[in-house]
Amino acid sequence: MNQDKSPSAADPIVCLEKVNKFFGDLHVLKDIDLKVSPGEVVVIVGASGSGKSTLIRCINGLEEFQQGHIEVDGNELLPHGKAGQALQKIRTEVGMVFQQFNLFPHLSVLDNVSLAPMKVRGWSRADAIETAERLLERVGISDQAAKHPGQLSGGQQQRVALARALAMEPRLMLFDEPTSALDPEMIGEVLDAMRELAREGMTMMIVTHEMGFAREVADRVIFIHQGEIAEEGPPEEVLDRPRNKPTQQFLSRVLKH
Amino acid sequence: MDVTFQFDWQAAFASIPFLLEGIPYTLLISFGGLAIGFLIGILFGLLRISPFAWLRIPAVAYIEIFRGTPVLVQVLFIFYGLPQLLGGPINALVAGIAAIAVNSGAYISEIVRGGVQSIERGQREAGLSLGLSRRQTFRYIIWPQALRRMIPALGNQGIISIKDTSLFSVIGVGELVRQGQVYIATTFNALEVYLMVALLYLAITLSLSFALRQLERRGLVGQ
Ligand SMILES: Nc1ncnc2c1ncn2[C@@H]1O[C@H](COP(=O)(O)OP(=O)(O)OP(=O)(O)O)[C@@H](O)[C@H]1O
Ligand SMILES: [Mg+2]
């Protein structure tokens, strides 16, 4: 029989199979199996050092893995960084927001956002600027476009970082603790922008300690314990009625704060 | 014995036109050598941090050899030694420029390496995660920031190299010191002439410092 290989809405956009990752002798990811559907919002929680960052960084090839395979929107990553063109394609289709923002300090806010569309997608400067301005407006910082990142507050910087990633029109967005480096009063503005993105149907994988936010936007919560997916399910299950011990202990520690 | 000595201002000023004839050579050797040294420094500084040992090892060898030997020996080797190998004489000016180039190139390699390595890992990751190639990430993200951080150290090296050219009177290039020596050979007022020579070096190095400070200040806006 002929198998139809064309992607449909039901096909996962991210697929990890038996992914194992080591840092030297340290086994950081253990047999990770994970599928994410288009439009799904997946929140990843777990203790410090459990492998959350490593997991999402494997998806856009910032970390290599040693066993298993990862497929993102039909592009396959192989162990030991053997990917070539596929890696480039994945990075073009996948946006990432970092804990420390990682804005380019030597470029203006507008140039931060318009650089990649011009250099990677080959857009004209006019098109890239227009898109950048529209995105900056959407995250509420259009009046800061000419400034440099160092002149912005943490919350503003993270919203620029979000706009920068969105400018590439990604099919998937990865977030690695996007609000952990922010002063408490600035967390809300970043979460608001992410909430809106989720509402518009963006596929998102979010590492965060913001449990209220997770409960609200997540379609699925994944709890990672010592490099393994220990529990996963809808937020009301994993967060409110955790089944296994590590999850319960982690949540009681987090929610006490 | 009469040990009192009158500083002869007139003699000092009289030497200036003759000394000034050395300035173009001093500048040409300094800045010609530094320009080539900068290119060498970029190349070897980047090879030095290559993930491949076969690229790294030659870079380390070059840097250690030319940092670890005196620039005077280097210029003597180039001017007197190399012709025996090549079978023809080398122009003294060319030898001087070459010596500054290979000598400053070794130091600038280390400046480039330090500058590039000082850029936070997150900058590279942000560039790559946007789909920029490694080359584009380097060109648009890493290098502009590294270059800015390198300016003070590059200025330092520039000043050192300018002063190093004073040694090249030994190969007979008519640079500042050489002009001074020639002048003193006929007038014998070493005190006045060497003071003027020193002041002329100072004028060159201060101009460079000033120019770099301007560059740095302009570069820092918006950092
Ligand atoms: N570059 C590295 N080299 C060696 N070990 C590393 C490296 N990066 C991470 N690790 C280790 O891998 C494990 C998982 O790290 P990871 O950063 O994925 O954890 P995390 O769940 O994101 O933690 P956190 O909540 O603190 O960010 C940790 O034990 C960490 O020390
Ligand atoms: Mg982490």
The pLDDT assigned to A254 comes to: 82
Using an 8 Å CB-CB cutoff, list chain B residues near A168.
130-131
Give the residue from A90, A104, A151, A160 with the most B CB atoms within 10 Å of its CB, the best one to mutate.
A104
Ligand 1: atom nearest CA of A50 is 21
Q: How far apart are CA A194 and CA B91, in angstroms?
A: 67
pLDDT score for B6 = 82
The minimum CA-CA distance between A60 and chain B, rounded to whole Å, is 7
CB contact under 8 A, B131 and A92: yes
Q: How many domains are there within chain B?
A: 1
- The residue whose CA is least distant from atom 30 of ligand 1 is A49
Instruction: Say which amino acid occupies A137.
Output: E
Q: Are A19 and A58 in contact (CB under 8 A)?
A: yes
pLDDT of residue B223: 44
**Can you give the residue ranges of every domain in chain A?**
14-102+171-255
Average pLDDT of span B193-205: 97
Is residue B191 included in any domain, yes or no?
no
Q: Do B125 and A88 touch (CB under 8 A)?
A: no
Atom of ligand 1 nearest to the CA of A227: 14
At residue B221, does pLDDT exceed 50? no
Residue B193 inside a domain? The answer is no
The two three-digit tokens of residue A51, written as one number: 């492998």
DSSP B116-152: HHTS-HHHHHHHHHTT--HHHIIIIIIHHHHHHHHHH
Do B19 and B176 contact (CB within 8 A), yes or no? yes
Residue nearest to atom 1 of ligand 1 (CA): A23
Q: Rounded to the nearest 5°, which phi and psi values hold at A23? A: -105, 100
Contact (CB, 8 A) for B128 and A62: yes
Q: What is the pTM of this model?
A: 0.90
Report the interhelical angle of A154-166 vs A184-199 (nearest 10°).
Answer: 20
For the A14-102+171-255 domain, the top CATH level (class) is: alpha beta
**pLDDT for res B207:** 96
- Do A208 and A177 form a contact (C-beta atoms < 8 A)? yes
Q: Determine the pLDDT at residue A1.
A: 40
Please indicate if any CB of chain B lies within 8 Å of the CB of A165. Answer: yes
Range of the domain at B118: 27-173
Neighbouring residues of B217: CB distance < 8 A, sequence distance ≥ 6: none
Contact assignment for B130 to A165 by CB distance below 8 Å: yes
Residue A3 has pLDDT above 60, yes or no: no
Q: Among A25, A45, A48, A176, which is best to mutate for testing ligand 1, by the most ligand atoms less than 8 A from CB? A: A48
B123 to chain A: which residues are within 8 Å by CB? 102, 104
User: What type of residue sits at position B204?
Assistant: I
The predicted model gives A165-185 an average pLDDT of 96
Domain membership flag for residue B200: no
User: What is the mean predicted confidence (pLDDT) over A222-233?
Assistant: 96
pLDDT recorded at residue A4 = 46
B117-124 contact pairs (CB < 8 A, 24+):
B117/B49, B118/B146, B118/B149, B119/B145, B119/B146, B119/B149, B120/A102, B122/A98, B122/A100, B122/A102, B123/A102, B123/A104
Residue-wise pLDDT tens digits, B104-149 = 999 999 999 999 999 999 999 999 999 999 999 999 999 999 999 9
- φ, ψ (nearest 5 deg) of residue A2: -85, 125
Closest Cα in chain A, distance from residue B136 (Å): 8
Q: In Å, what is the CA distance from A135 to each residue of A120, A148, A149, A154, A166?
A: 18, 17, 16, 18, 8
State how far residue A166 is from chain B, nearest Cα, in angstroms: 10
Confidence of residue A200 (pLDDT cuts 50, 70, 90): very high
Question: How does the average pLDDT of chain B come out, rounded?
Answer: 94
Q: How far is the CA of A230 from the centre of ligand 1 (A)?
A: 17
Q: Is A223's Cβ below 8 Å from some Cβ in B?
A: no
Report the CATH number at residue B97: 1.10.3720.10
CB B155, CB B208: distance < 8 Å: yes
Of A60, A61, A115, the CB nearest to B140: A115
Output the pLDDT for position A256.
66
Q: How many other CB atoms are there within 10 angstroms of residue B198's CB atom?
A: 13
Name the band, by pLDDT with cuts 50, 70 and 90, for residue B220. low
Please check whether residue B69 lies inside any domain of the structure.
Answer: yes
Q: Is the CB of A252 under 6 A from ligand 1?
A: no
